[in-house]
Amino acid sequence: MPELPEVETMRRGILEIEGAVVVAAERTACSKRPIAITPRIDRLNKRVKGQKILRVDRLGKRVVVVMENLDRLIFEPRMTGLVLIADPPSVEHLRFRLTLKKSPVKQVLFWDRRGLGNVSLLSDEQYQEKLTSGKLGPDALAIAPSEFAETFSKRQREIKVALLDQSAVAGVGNLYASEILHLAGVHPQARCNRLSKIQYQRIHDRMVEVLEIAIEHEGSTLSDGTYRNALNDPGGYQNQHRVYDRAGEKCPTCKKDSIQRIVQCQRSTFFCKKCQKKR
2 catalytically annotated: yes
The catalytically annotated residue of 78, 267, 273, 274 is 267
267 catalytically annotated: yes
**CB–CB of 62/76 below 8 Å?**
yes
The catalytically annotated residue of 11, 27, 58, 61 is 61
Task: Write down the pLDDT at residue 151.
Answer: 96
155 catalytically annotated: no
Task: Write down the pLDDT at residue 33.
Answer: 87
pTM of the complete model beyond 0.85: yes
Regions in the chain scoring below 50 on pLDDT: none
Task: Write down the pLDDT at residue 145.
Answer: 98
Which CATH code fits 145-272?
1.10.8.50
Dihedrals phi, psi of 194, to nearest 5 degrees: -110, 5
3 catalytically annotated: yes
pLDDT digits (tens, 9 = 90+) for 48-75: 999 999 999 999 999 999 999 999 999 9
pLDDT digits (tens, 9 = 90+) for 97-124: 999 999 999 999 999 999 999 999 999 9
Residue 263's alpha-carbon distances to 162, 269, 270, in angstroms, are 14, 6, 9
Can you name the CATH fold of 4-132? N-terminal domain of MutM-like DNA repair proteins (3.20.190)
The catalytically annotated residue of 2, 5, 77, 188 is 2
Residues of the chain with CATH 3.20.190.10: 4-132
Residue 178: which of 130, 231, 222 has the closest Cα? Answer: 222
Contacts of 78 (CB under 8 A, 6+ apart): 2, 112, 114, 116, 117, 118
Task: Write down the pLDDT at residue 1.
Answer: 77
Contacts of 279 (CB under 8 A, 6+ apart): 187, 190
Residues of the chain with CATH 1.10.8.50: 145-272
Task: Write down the pLDDT at residue 278.
Answer: 84
Task: Write down the pLDDT at residue 132.
Answer: 82
**CB–CB of 105/20 below 8 Å?**
yes
